């Protein structure tokens, strides 16, 4: 087929083509057209409209190329920014990966440390359990020992109480023997001469005898204060006991049937006490023994205990260890000053110098300094 021409049906081979509408024309026909424009070669504008359309297309193309170049530049900038972001993100990812690695290492170390601590705690708990078991065993053993020791202590206290009773009976016998010795010393001049020889050999004892004789005379005259000083200055227990016997003699003088049979000379009593060489004396007067035991029963000192809750059980303990003493205990928890003074004044009306009063205070107003001390109670009573 031949090329279809727009202008005519001439079969001329040479042709020109419009670059816009793509119509084919003969060169001769183009020359005859009102408006045509040759561009060079076989390219032409067949009409003004084609030229305008091509110019507009070129202008749009230039605009699109400018826009495309701008878009390419923006795209390039965006790609550069994206690359920077990728680089930063990679660096951040690397940093995060490093921190994650560090944290994982720390977590592993902490896990190992926690496991180590758990093992140590388990070992420590096992050691504590073993120690508690050992302590329990030791405590049980100690409790068994304490029970045994308590039983032994009770047995020893019972034996001690029995021994004290035996000692008391023997002291009664010794007192009766001393009374007999005193009477025999009065009747025997030879014994008096031997005692005088002992007095010459012991000057100190002679001074004590003279002091005791003076004190005895003052005691018979009723000087109770000097008698108390005598008790303080004398260190001999037998002298104190003989002073108590003298008090009982004066108190029970009305009971005696025959005053000539008793010995009222205190000096000879003290002289007879030093004669330890006299042994195996026969008791020749049973009535004197009975009278001596009666005197021993009458010699019972009084001990009054005024205390708060800390003095509970003290009276029983004193009564157990001091069988020949009357012990009275009055316990008042949280005792007040007025209660202590009133009870002390009322209950000590019949006291003698041989009696004692014990005041025990822990939880009361004395400790806080609101009232005078216990040293002033003696002056009040």
- The more confident residue out of 266 and 216 is 216
β-bridge pairing 24-25 and 43-45: unpaired
Residue 110 lies in a domain: no
Whether the pLDDT of residue 122 is over 50: the answer is yes
Adjacency order of strands within the sheet including 43-45: 24-25, 16-18, 43-45, 37-40
Residue 313 lies in a domain: yes
Residue-level pLDDT at 198: 64
Confidence class for position 337, pLDDT limits 50, 70, 90: low
**Which range has the top average pLDDT, 37-46, 141-150, 239-248?**
141-150
Whether the pLDDT of residue 155 is over 70: the answer is yes
Residue 351 lies in a domain: yes
Rg of the chain's alpha carbons, rounded to an integer? 68
DSSP letter at 311 equals G
Whether the pLDDT of residue 268 is over 50: the answer is no
pTM of the model: 0.23
Residue 319 lies in a domain: yes
Q: What is the mean pLDDT of residues 48-59?
A: 78
| 89-115 pLDDT per residue, tens | 889 889 999 999 999 999 999 999 999
Whether the pLDDT of residue 300 is over 80: the answer is no
Residue-level pLDDT at 344: 76
Whether the pLDDT of residue 254 is over 60: the answer is no
| 183-216 pLDDT per residue, tens | 776 776 665 666 667 666 666 656 766 777 777 7
Residue 111 lies in a domain: no
Residue-level pLDDT at 18: 74
Residue-level pLDDT at 9: 57
Q: What is the mean pLDDT of residues 227-248?
A: 47
Residue-level pLDDT at 348: 76
Residue 317 lies in a domain: yes
Of the candidates 357, 201, 181, 186, which has an alpha carbon nearest to the alpha carbon of residue 281? 181
| 343-372 pLDDT per residue, tens | 777 777 777 767 777 777 654 444 444 544
Whether the pLDDT of residue 64 is over 60: the answer is yes
Parent domain of 343:
300-381
> Looking at the 3D structure of the chain, how many domains does it have?
1
Residue-level pLDDT at 214: 78
Residue 355 lies in a domain: yes
Confidence class for position 5, pLDDT limits 50, 70, 90: low
β-bridge pairing 302-307 and 326-331: parallel
Alpha-carbon span 258 to 135, nearest angstrom? 74
**Where would I find the H helices in 188-202?**
189-201
Contact indicator for 245, 299 with CB cutoff of 8 Å: yes
Residue-level pLDDT at 48: 73
Residue 373 lies in a domain: yes
Residue-level pLDDT at 316: 74
Confidence class for position 181, pLDDT limits 50, 70, 90: confident
**Which range has the top average pLDDT, 111-125, 236-250, 268-282, 310-324?**
111-125
DSSP letter at 295 equals H
Residue 193 burial by Cβ neighbours in a 10 Å radius (0-12, 13-18, 19+): exposed
Averaged pLDDT of the chain: 69
Whether the pLDDT of residue 288 is over 60: the answer is no
Side-chain half-sphere exposure of 39, counting CA atoms within 13 A? 14
Residue 369's domain is classified under what CATH number? 3.40.50
Confidence class for position 239, pLDDT limits 50, 70, 90: very low
Comparing 4-18, 235-249, 282-296, the range with the smallest average pLDDT is 282-296
Residue-level pLDDT at 285: 38
């Amino acid at each position: 087929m031949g090329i279809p021409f727009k202008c005519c049906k001439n079969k001329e081979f040479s042709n020109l083509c419009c670059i816009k509408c793509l119509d084919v024309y003969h060169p001769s026909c183009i020359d005859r057209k009102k408006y045509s424009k040759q561009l060079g070669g076989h390219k032409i504008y067949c009409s003004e409209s084609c030229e305008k359309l091509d110019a507009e297309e070129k202008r749009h193309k230039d605009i699109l190329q400018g826009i495309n170049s701008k878009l390419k530049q923006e795209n390039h900038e965006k790609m550069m920014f994206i690359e920077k972001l990728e680089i930063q993100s990679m660096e951040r990812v690397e940093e995060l990966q490093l921190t994650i690695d560090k944290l994982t290492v720390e977590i592993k170390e902490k896990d190992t440390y926690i496991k180590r601590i758990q093992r140590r705690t388990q070992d420590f708990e096992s050691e504590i359990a073993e120690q508690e078991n050992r302590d329990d065993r030791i405590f049980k053993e100690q409790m068994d020992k304490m029970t045994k020791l308590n039983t032994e202590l009770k047995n020893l206290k019972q034996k001690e109480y029995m021994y004290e009773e035996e000692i008391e009976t023997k002291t009664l016998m010794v007192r009766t023997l001393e009374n007999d010795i005193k009477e025999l010393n009065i009747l025997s001049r030879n014994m008096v001469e031997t005692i005088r020889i002992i007095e010459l050999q012991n000057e100190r004892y002679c001074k004590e005898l003279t002091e005791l004789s003076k004190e005895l005379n003052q005691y018979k005259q009723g000087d109770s204060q000097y008698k108390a000083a005598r008790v303080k200055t004398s260190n001999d227990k037998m002298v104190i006991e003989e002073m108590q016997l003298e008090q009982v003699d004066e108190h029970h003088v009305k009971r005696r049937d025959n005053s000539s049979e008793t010995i009222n000379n205190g000096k000879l009593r003290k002289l007879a006490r030093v004669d330890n060489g006299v042994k195996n004396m026969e008791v020749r007067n049973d009535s004197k023994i009975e009278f001596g035991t009666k005197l021993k029963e009458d010699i019972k000192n009084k001990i009054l205990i005024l205390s708060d809750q800390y003095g509970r059980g003290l009276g029983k303990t004193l009564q157990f260890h001091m069988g020949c003493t009357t012990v009275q205990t009055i316990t008042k928890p949280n005792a007040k000053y007025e209660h202590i003074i009133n009870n002390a004044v009322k209950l000590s009306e019949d006291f003698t110098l041989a009696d004692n009063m014990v005041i025990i205070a822990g939880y009361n107003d004395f400790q806080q300094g609101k009232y005078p001390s216990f040293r002033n109670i003696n002056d009040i009573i």
